[in-house]
Every structure is written in C-alpha cells, then in structure tokens.
C-alpha cells in the first residue's frame, strides 16, 4: 500500500477529531440496521430522545448529557442541533458552544462563567442570523454591564477593553486576575446579574421569534453547551474542581433560563446524586454475561469501513478475525478503536502479524496500567463481577472521578444499563472472560 494512502487512512482514524455530520466518515450508530432490522447497540436513539425532550415541552428545559470523551457525544449533539433547527420539528435557532473556546477547563466554574458565555454566544448567533454587520452593536448587554461595573467598582476604572466590551468573555478565560475581579464583583450583586441575563435572553428569544426570513419565523432559541466534561483539576485541585461543578449542576432550577439549554457534564457526576443525566454508553461489543455481541461488533466494523474501505482494511489487518480482535479489545469505545487502528496502520509490513498486534495491545494496556493503583483493584474487580457501581460516599466519589477520567469503567446499555471494565484493564487485573 502506498505511503500516501496509509497517511490518508491514518488521519481518517484520528481519535481526537470530530468529523462533520455530512462526512462519509460518520456512522449513524443508533439508526444502524442489520438485514433490515434496527439494532440498538447503545440502547436507544440518543439524538432523537434529547431533541424530543425539548421539542415536546411547553416550558424551557435544562438537559444534562454525558459520556466519555471520544464516545460520540459531539456527533450526537450535532444531530440534535440538526433536528431542532428543522422547521418541521422544533423549528429553533441553535446556539452551539464549545466550552474549550471560552472557559478555563482546569479551574472551578460557577454560574457566572456559564451565563456569561451563554449570553455572549446567543448575542453573536442571533446577530448573524438577523444579518447584522455589527454583531455587538453599541449599547448591547456587555456595554451596559461594563458601565454598571465601572460605576460600582473602582478596580475596573483603569481597565481598557477597547471598543468591544464583549471581549471581557475571552479576557475572563485567559486572564485569571481579571476573571477573579469580575466574579468578585458579581458575587456582591448576584440577583442583579442573573436578572439582567434572564431579561436579555428573553429579549433575544422574542427577537428571534419576531424575525422573518422568506415568510418563515423561528420558534425560539436552544443552546447546546458542549465539552464541559473536560472540566477537571490537576493534583490537589481535582476535588475542588469536581465539587464546584457538582454544586453548579446539582440544582437544576438555578440554571433555568427563558430558553432551552443542553449541557454536557463529566461522567463522574453520575455518581454524585445528580438526577436525570443522560449517559451515552459505548457500543455493546460484549454482553452482560461477557459473551461477544455480534451486532455491536458489526457496527464497530462498519465504523472502520467508513474510514478505510473494506478491501484496504483487510490488506492491513489480514483477516476478519484480526479486525474483530481490535474491535473487541476496544471494548466498544470508539476512541480506543481508532487509536488501535492508527497503531496498526503505521506497522511497516502488511498484513499485520499476530506478534505486532499483541505488541499494540500491550502498549494500550501499559497506558492504563500506569494510571491504575493497587488501591483501585478491589473496586474494579467488584464492578466487573457485579456490573454495577456502588459509589455512595465522598471517598468513593473521588475514586469514581479518577476511574471515569481514565476511562477504565465502561457503561453499556441494552434495555437496562450496566458497567464493565475495558479489555486492557481486564488484562492489567489478570481477568479473562473465558
């Protein structure tokens, strides 16, 4: 196989890149059929369920959605976005936000961070939708906020943001000192801040409803706030960051706005008594009794075919058995499958040998081994045996934060939900499914 072709396939298998919905690399997992029959290898159609919760409700909703990084959350949220903006469905104007662009992911977050980013992006999206050249026109929300801050707090008087006061949002991400000053100021005036946010979002929502394009009007705004699952501290700060985001999302009523909002949350919050979190499972390539799931394996094989044509994939791997081996070793976690596939592509000689495949498996195993302590082993074995999580105290919640963060615990669903360990972790613990 020519090196240029190998390089193309290597990049198509990038586990950290989300392809466009219109790309031929995207597989609609929840609508996949075998012999004309729908197979639910993730338990349900997640995009349709999320969209339905919003489109069927008469009042603004706060939706929580979680899953592992690289499991397909962003792809499903893009499907939600497409459904909700369709005039035959919810007929809403979507505002998609990538938290990585606006928030410091290693620090504690609160309502000020969330609401400030939401209103910034809603103003920007609505202005573009309505064809305004000056997105943040004079007298906008941020001009009024900055005037209030300058009149109230002396420490802001010498801070210059230029002609665009909306830049305070980006400044809050990149300038910790400035961010702390803003948050300290708002903490002394929390009700006024929140009321101003609600009033402005209500005004923008009505503006969208009243704006007509070619005889058509939208029914309102929906915000999709993605990538918040990346919020985690380092070292001694990890517990503080986790507790802050738990506090932020524990009371859903505090986050109610006059528009619908979907938030992605870290998976470990599932163990912290936060209700009604929709958890995107990995693909069920194994059944609860640890036997292989043929339907899930076929879906993951098709996921690979979307990136590498069948003939070339078989040239690389040598056989269907070798393809199935890497699928089963991924545990149904798409990111690990694509990482494994990239490792196979860079092997010098095709088809890949059994020794080379074992070496690739060993390298992934070592990545997980480096993050699993002996203190974790009894808990992991219990999860494997019971297929359940029993993290009921704060000590276990911190452990859950760590184990979900390194993706050793996988969540599956086929009717009921259950948990298991990824195959590399099983090898670390000496567990075999046979």
pLDDT in tens, 292-340: 999 999 999 999 999 999 999 999 999 999 999 999 999 999 999 999 9
Query: Mind giving me the DSSP string for 236-269?
Result: GGHHHHHHHHHHHHH-GGGG--SSEEEEEE-GGG
Angle at CA of residue 78, ends 74 and 80, nearest 5°: 115
What pLDDT score was predicted for residue 270?
Answer: 83
Q: For residues 361, 364, 369 and 372, what is the CA-based torsion angle, rounded to 10 degrees?
A: -130
Nearest partner of 266 among 283, 285, 253, 248, judged by Cα: 248
What is the dihedral sign for C-alpha 423, 427, 431, 434?
Answer: positive
Residues in contact with 54: Cβ distance below 8 Å, sequence separation at least 6, in sequence order: 61, 63, 84, 90, 92, 222, 260, 262
Give the position of tokens 């609505």.
126
Contact predicate 266/245, CB 8 Å: yes
Give the position of tokens 């639910």.
40
What pLDDT score was predicted for residue 316?
Answer: 97
What pLDDT score was predicted for residue 150?
Answer: 78
Contact predicate 38/32, CB 8 Å: yes
Q: Residue 201: enclosing H or E segment and its boundaries?
A: helix 190-210
SS3 assignment, position 75 = helix
What pLDDT score was predicted for residue 199?
Answer: 95
What pLDDT score was predicted for residue 389?
Answer: 85
Q: Point out which residues pair with 223 in neighbouring strands.
A: 95, 261
What pLDDT score was predicted for residue 148?
Answer: 85
What pLDDT score was predicted for residue 170?
Answer: 82
As to burial, measured by CB atoms within 10 angstroms (0-12 exposed, 13-18 middle, 19+ buried), residue 281 is buried
Q: Residue 85: enclosing H or E segment and its boundaries?
A: helix 73-85
Write the pLDDT tens digit of every residue in 79-95: 999 999 998 788 999 99
Q: How far apart are CA 336 and CA 305, in angstroms?
A: 16
Q: How far apart are CA 178 and CA 147, in angstroms?
A: 16
Give pLDDT tens digits along the chain (434 positions).
899 999 999 999 999 998 888 888 889 999 999 999 999 999 999 999 999 999 999 999 999 999 998 899 999 999 999 999 998 788 999 999 999 999 999 999 999 999 999 999 999 999 999 998 766 777 788 888 888 877 777 666 666 665 667 778 888 888 888 888 888 888 888 899 999 999 999 999 999 999 999 889 999 999 999 999 998 878 778 888 988 999 999 989 999 999 999 999 999 888 877 889 999 999 999 999 999 999 999 999 999 999 999 999 999 999 999 999 999 999 999 999 999 999 999 999 999 999 999 999 999 999 999 989 888 899 999 999 999 987 766 667 778 888 888 889 999 987 788 999 999 999 999 998 86
What pLDDT score was predicted for residue 164?
Answer: 67
Residues in contact with 37: Cβ distance below 8 Å, sequence separation at least 6, in sequence order: none
Instruction: Assign residue 430 a region (left: φ > 0; alpha: ψ between -120 and 50; beta: otherwise).
Output: left
What pLDDT score was predicted for residue 162?
Answer: 57
Provide long-range contacts, Cβ within 8 A and 24+ apart, for 79-88: 79/21, 79/28, 79/47, 79/51, 80/47, 80/50, 80/51, 80/224, 80/262, 81/224, 82/21, 83/47, 83/48, 83/51, 83/55, 84/51, 84/54, 84/55, 84/222, 87/216
Residues in contact with 53: Cβ distance below 8 Å, sequence separation at least 6, in sequence order: 61, 63
Enter the DSSP assignment of 222: E
What pLDDT score was predicted for residue 158?
Answer: 61
What pLDDT score was predicted for residue 23?
Answer: 82
What pLDDT score was predicted for residue 249?
Answer: 95
Distances (CA, A) of 154 to 35, 144, 147, 170, 422: 70, 16, 12, 22, 55
For residue 150, the Cα-to-chain-centroid distance in whole angstroms is 37
Of how many residues is the chain composed?
Answer: 434
């Amino acid at each position: 196989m020519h090196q240029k072709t190998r390089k193309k396939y290597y990049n198509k298998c990038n586990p950290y890149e989300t392809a466009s919905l219109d790309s031929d690399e995207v597989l609609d997992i929840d609508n996949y059929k075998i012999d004309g029959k729908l197979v639910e290898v993730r338990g349900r159609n997640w995009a349709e369920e999320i969209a339905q919760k919003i489109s069927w409700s008469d009042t603004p909703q706060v939706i929580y959605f979680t899953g592992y990084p690289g499991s397909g959350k962003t792809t499903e949220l893009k499907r939600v976005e497409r459904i909700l903006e369709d005039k035959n469905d919810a007929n809403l104007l979507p505002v998609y936000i990538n938290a990585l662009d606006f928030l410091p992911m290693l620090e504690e977050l609160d309502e000020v961070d969330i609401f400030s980013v939401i209103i910034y992006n809603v103003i920007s999206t609505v202005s573009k939708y309505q064809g305004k050249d000056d997105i943040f026109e004079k007298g906008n929300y941020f001009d009024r906020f900055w005037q209030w801050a300058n009149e109230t707090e002396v420490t802001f008087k010498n801070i210059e943001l230029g002609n665009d006061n909306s830049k305070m949002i980006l400044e809050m991400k990149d300038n910790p000192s400035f961010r702390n000053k803003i948050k300290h100021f708002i903490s002394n005036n929390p009700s006024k801040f929140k009321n101003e946010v609600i009033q402005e979002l209500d005004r923008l929502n009505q503006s969208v409803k009243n704006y007509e394009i070619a005889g058509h009007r939208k029914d309102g705004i929906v915000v999709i706030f993605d990538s918040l699952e990346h919020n985690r501290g380092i070292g001694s700060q990890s517990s503080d960051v986790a507790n802050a985001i738990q506090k932020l999302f524990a009371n859903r009523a505090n986050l109610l706005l006059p528009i619908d909002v979907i938030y992605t949350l870290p998976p470990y919050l599932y163990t912290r008594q936060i209700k009604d979190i929709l958890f995107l499972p990995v693909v069920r390539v194994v059944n609860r009794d640890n036997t292989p799931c043929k339907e899930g394996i076929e879906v993951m094989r098709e996921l690979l075919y979307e990136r590498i044509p069948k003939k070339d994939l078989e040239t690389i791997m040598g056989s269907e058995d070798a393809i199935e081996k890497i699928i089963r070793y991924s545990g149904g976690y798409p990111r690990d499958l694509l990482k494994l596939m990239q490792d196979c592509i860079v092997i010098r000689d095709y088809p890949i040998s059994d020794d080379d495949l074992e070496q690739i498996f060993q390298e992934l195993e070592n990545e997980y081994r480096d993050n699993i302590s002996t203190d974790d082993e009894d808990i992991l074995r219990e999860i494997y045996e019971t297929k359940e999580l029993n993290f009921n105290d704060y000590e276990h919640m911190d452990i859950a934060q760590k184990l979900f963060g390194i993706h050793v615990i996988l969540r599956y669903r086929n009717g009921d939900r259950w948990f298991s360990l990824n195959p590399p972790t099983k090898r670390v613990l000496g567990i075999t499914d046979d």
